[in-house]
Chains A and B, each alone.
Chain A
Amino acid sequence: MTKKEKKIVRPGPDSHNLCFVRDEDAPILPAPPSEVGVTGWLYHNIFQSMNDFSSIQSCIKSILAAFFTLFVFYFFVTQLYGFVDFALISAVWSDPEGLKRQACWTLEQGGSLPDGWHGACWPYIIAKAKFIMYGAYPGGELWRVNLTYLIGGSMLAWVLIEPLPFRKLVGFVLLVFYPMFATVMLSGGGGGFSTTVVGVSTLLGLSLLTISRLGKRGELPKIFSDIVAISGTAGWALIFIAAFIVVTGFDSGLINVDTRDWGGLLITLVVATTAIVASLPLGILLALGRRSEMPIARSLSIIFIEFWRGVPLITVLFMASVMIPLFMPEGVNFDSLLRALIGVTLWQSAYMAEVIRGGLQAIDKGQYEAADSMGLTYWQSMRLIILPQALKHVLPGIVNTVISVFKDTSLVSIVGIFDLLGATQSTLADAAWSTPVQSPTGYLVVASIFFVFCFGMSRYSMHLERKLNRGH
């Protein structure tokens, strides 16, 4: 290595140069193109593996990497093109003469399209759109479904979008009042209500609330302190159930639409939303119960979780469908959709419980100790310290389970309920639209709708994770 004769002593591999003091800062230079911008991205993601030609081995590796990259690129482009071609470019968009299936037939089948044509048949979807979205819901009442969607969607957006005010209040209304509203809107309400059930539920709820109030004022022996903590929530839950039954029993003046007539996207959204919203708190309780030191809570939680995880969802739906009516007194009509809802919710809460338990286990013992040493009660430390951290840790797992149950709702077709997939499949049986492209078109639509919802949930969770990541 050449050394320039300079007054500044530079550090080098020369062992005689042990003493070195920097007197002038080395310049801070901009990064080379291979590190920043588009060229940087291209370099790091594509070209880095193929620029090494120093030996025979690395030559071969570089050339193989180049070929593989080209192959993947080609594959990706052709597949994408194939998809775009089917869905958009070659697709048939309208059927002005009302030919129905003939509009999507090639010449040799009797239609007017060139032989070898392969594209989506959109008029079929347009004709069946109402059934795919709403099932057999009466056409004149669709405004009720749309209104329910609109109100629910906007309230949800309000809760999720950061800068808006009153998010907690809207969230509360969404969780407590919207279910009652939606049930009345969609089903029409009416049918009265069982005064015994409502009465029992209200009385039980009120007594639990009283216990909670007394406990907080310290008028109960301390042994009951843990029961007092949850009796408040349990009391409100029972009162909510009673209110729900009363509100949905009232005659609202709307035409009754039996749940058997609901179908398509409506069913998918109803089942998925109910299962997700109900299984999350239930899952939290089960996870806490399983980790509890009280033997009864622990064994009950373990039995519940292991039972529901050991049974496939299809079996659960069958059992709910067939067995629940056996336990009902004669003549009591337990709505088939409600049976499916209960089954999916209980099944899902077992999975959710295990995901959450993973998060609870990941919390450092020191957090529990710090909370205890400050004198916080069990439920206070869970609510304020442990659960916020645990849920944040397993957010990917929770979202995974949520997306999974959204798609699992398709299984309700086993018990005769037509969800999005079931409704679309039943339209495939319509001979008036029978073409070779009927199935691909139908399934393309179903897949796209599922993708939009699932990907949306996934993106929101990524946003949430980034927001919650406060550098620890």
Chain B
Amino acid sequence: MAQKNNKVSPDEVVVSMDQVNKWFGQFHVLRDINLQVNRGERIVICGPSGSGKSTLIRCLNRLEEHQQGNISVHGIELNNDVKNIDEIRREVGMVFQHFNLFPHLSILENCMLAPVWVRKTPRVEAEETAMHFLHRVKIPEQAHKYPGQLSGGQQQRVAIARALCMQPQLMLFDEPTSALDPEMIKEVLDTMVELAEDGMTMICVTHEMGFARKVANRVIFMDEGQIIEQNEPEAFFNNPQSDRTKLFLSQILGH
């Protein structure tokens, strides 16, 4: 089991969510969310479907808009100011369940796109960075192929590399292994574990409890839009306090 290389800085707050509420029309999808994430922390959010986990992390880079409460990322307040949103998006990388690679560009171009067009990095430098991160996720030889030619596990690793090329302060993972075949889940999780050991602040929505045990500082359980329970992984799995948590864990760990 990997050593939890915790370079958590308690005084550097990366994400701060204060009494956040969100509605989809009439439906109250996020209720009274209060969350603080420090630099270097690894958070795993779990819960039944429809509990609002994905919505919560999507609010952090404004893919969803919250109606009440305050969210600030890396000290920048998340509101309707386009300038703030752009700044936050530059510092937050996101990995999606369905990869969302750009099929008409090669792997290398996928990774170079954001640095070249958002950070205005010169192409040569962007290419070097891209190859560096492709090496990190262990698929440098695929650089000139197209996403359609890669397996699911490889595509997700490219997606991780693509997000890393912007050198973000925070990485968000929205069920990164849920769309993968079982034999490919390990390669993606290994990549994420390495990333965590290098000190990346990450918030991960996942059902992979083994990953949570290995790497997380905190496990958060959400149900029906609320944070029900949060704790350190060992305490969370061995001694769940709330009934709902117990029920969920029995369902997910039972078989």
Interface residues of A (CB under 8 A from B): 222-223, 225, 364, 366-367, 369-370, 372-377, 380, 384-385, 388-389, 392, 468, 470-472
Contacts and interface: CB of A to CB of B under 8 A. Distances in A.
B96 A370 contact: yes
Contact of B102 (A223, A367, A377, A392): A367
Nearest to B62: A372
B27 interface: no
B118 A472 contact: no
Interface in B136-188: 146-149, 162-163, 166
B90 interface: yes
Contacts of A369: 63, 96, 100
B89 A470 contact: no
Contacts of B90: 375
A375 B166 contact: yes
Contacts of B61: 372-373
Given A374-B166, A375-B114, A470 B82 contact: no
Nearest to B147: A472
B194 interface: no
A468 B103 CA distance: 11
Given A374-B166, A376-B117, A470 B103 contact: yes
Nearest to B172: A373
Contacts of B102: 367, 370, 385, 389
B45 interface: no
Nearest to B115: A374
B96 A366 contact: yes
B46 interface: no
Given A369-B96, A370-B94, A392-B104, 11 more contacts: A366-B98, A367-B102, A372-B63, A373-B93, A374-B166, A375-B89, A375-B114, A375-B166, A376-B114, A470-B148, A472-B147
A388 B81 contact: no
A370 B147 CA distance: 14
A222 B163 CA distance: 25
Contact of A472 (B62, B82, B114, B148): B148
B198 interface: no
Contacts of B101: 370
B86 interface: yes
B179 to A, nearest CB: 11
A367 B117 contact: no
Nearest to A226: B82
Interface of B: 61-63, 81-83, 86, 89-90, 92-94, 96, 98, 100-104, 113-114, 117-118, 146-149, 162-163, 166
Given A374-B118, A376-B114, A471-B148, A366 B100 contact: yes
Contact of A471 (B63, B89, B98, B146): B146
B103 A389 contact: yes
Contacts of A470: 103-104, 146, 148-149
A374 B104 contact: no
A294 to B, nearest CB: 13
A223 B83 CA distance: 9
Nearest to B114: A374
Contacts, number: 72
Contacts of B113: 374, 376, 384-385
A384 B146 CA distance: 16
Contacts of A388: 104
A383 to B, nearest CB: 9
A369 B101 CA distance: 11
Give 10 closest A-B pairs by Cβ, nearest first.
A472-B148, A370-B100, A375-B89, A366-B100, A471-B148, A374-B114, A472-B103, A373-B94, A375-B118, A375-B90
A364 to B, nearest CB: 8
Nearest to A374: B114
Contacts of B148: 470-472
B108 to A, nearest CB: 14
- The listed residue with most A CB atoms (<10 A of its CB), out of B90, B92, B102, B166, is B102
A472 B163 CA distance: 22
Contacts of B82: 222-223, 225
A388 B102 CA distance: 10
B119 to A, nearest CB: 8
A470 B146 CA distance: 7
A377 B90 CA distance: 11
Contacts of A373: 61, 63, 89, 92-94
Contacts of A370: 94, 96, 100-102
Contacts of A389: 102-104
Contact of B89 (A223, A225, A374): A374
A236 to B, nearest CB: 20
Nearest to A389: B104
A375 B88 CA distance: 8
B83 A222 contact: yes
Contacts of A376: 113-114, 117-118
- The listed residue with most A CB atoms (<10 A of its CB), out of B62, B89, B117, B149, is B117
30 contacts: A222-B82, A366-B100, A367-B102, A369-B63, A372-B61, A372-B63, A373-B61, A373-B92, A373-B93, A374-B89, A374-B113, A374-B114, A374-B163, A374-B166, A375-B89, A375-B90, A375-B114, A376-B113, A376-B117, A377-B86, A380-B118, A384-B117, A385-B102, A388-B104, A468-B104, A470-B103, A470-B104, A471-B148, A472-B103, A472-B148
